Amino acid sequence: MRKLTIILILFISFSLFGQQQVFQSTSYAYKYLTNKGWGEWSEKIPTRANIYIDRNKGEIRIDSAKPQRYSLTSFLDSGYNKENNKYFRWQAMDQDGKLCTVMLISPTNKEHSTQFYFIYNEFKMYYNFFENANYFDGK
């Protein structure tokens, strides 16, 4: 009976582990809409913000200086952009109830980072992270 209990606990632990992915961002950038269209991207700003993706809840959480939470409300589309990078887009609502588009871009060139874009009517930002940045180092 004890073996069965231990196996059951391990099974439940492993199934819970797979529900959430954690990545560490390496940098972010942003830009604003101006009277002349979209401005230039800011310089990349180094960061070590953790990005949590909870597929069961349909939620993305970013633990940055200003914590962010996005609830994915609907899947929009997927495909390839002009640089031939795979993308996925969702409609989302942030923690303030504002609608935005969330886009995940996975580069075909693995030397480039994967990016999460958060696109509002007058503001865009993205976080860079590498696939091998899926870790915590305790710092």
pLDDT digits (tens, 9 = 90+) for 1-25: 444 334 334 344 444 455 788 888 9
Q: Is the pLDDT of residue 95 over 70?
A: yes
When comparing pLDDT for 92 and 134, which is higher?
92
pLDDT at 18: 53
Q: Check residue 133 and report its DSSP letter.
A: G
Residue reference for tokens 């942003």:
30
Residue 76 above 60 pLDDT? Answer: yes
- pLDDT top residue among 3 and 128: 128
Most distant CA pair in the chain, distance: 71
pLDDT in tens, 96-114: 999 999 999 988 877 778 8
Q: Is 116 exposed, middle or buried (0-12, 13-18, 19+ CB in 10 A)?
A: buried
Which is nearest to 117 in space by CA: 34, 31, 50, 52? 31
Higher pLDDT among residues 138 and 61, named by residue: 61
**How many beta carbons lie within 10 A of that of residue 103, not counting itself?**
21
How confident is the model over 107-134, as a mean pLDDT?
Answer: 83
Taking the whole predicted model, whether its pTM rises above 0.75 is answered as yes
pLDDT, mean over the chain: 83
Write the DSSP symbol of residue 84: -
Residue 48 has pLDDT above 70, yes or no: yes
Report the candidate in 123, 127, 83 with the shortest Cα–Cα distance to residue 103. Answer: 127
pLDDT on residue 137: 42
53 vs 59: CA distance, rounded Å:
6
